[in-house]
């Protein structure tokens, strides 16, 4: 499996700063994770674990 890294804090900070200025309420943690692609990391790790179980 390829190595994954945590999203830089600056990227998360910039995203939340943009969202703070928006008229809508702040995003949930799940929305932030989705925007930053963290859900893709979890999905890849689950797929890798399933592949490992089959081998």
On whether residue 20 sits in a domain, the answer given is: no
For the chain, the domain total comes to: 1
On whether residue 45 sits in a domain, the answer given is: yes
On whether residue 22 sits in a domain, the answer given is: no
Q: Measured between alpha carbons, how far is 37 from 3 in angstroms, rounded to an integer?
A: 15
On whether residue 39 sits in a domain, the answer given is: yes
Note the pLDDT tens digit of each residue in 1-54.
456 566 788 888 887 888 788 888 877 888 877 777 777 777 788 888 888 888
Decide: 38 and 45 in contact? Cβ < 8 Å: no
Decide: 41 and 4 in contact? Cβ < 8 Å: yes
What is the DSSP code (8-state) at residue 55?
-
What is the DSSP code (8-state) at residue 24?
S
What is the DSSP code (8-state) at residue 7?
P
Q: Measured between alpha carbons, how far is 23 from 39 in angstroms, rounded to an integer?
A: 26
- The residue range of the domain holding 47 is 28-55
On whether residue 21 sits in a domain, the answer given is: no
């Amino acid at each position: 499996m390829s190595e994954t890294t945590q999203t830089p804090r600056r990227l998360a900070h910039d995203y939340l700063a943009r969202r703070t200025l928006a008229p809508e309420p702040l995003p949930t943690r799940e929305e932030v994770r989705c925007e930053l692609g963290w859900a893709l990391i979890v999905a890849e790790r689950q797929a890798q674990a399933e592949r490992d179980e089959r081998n």
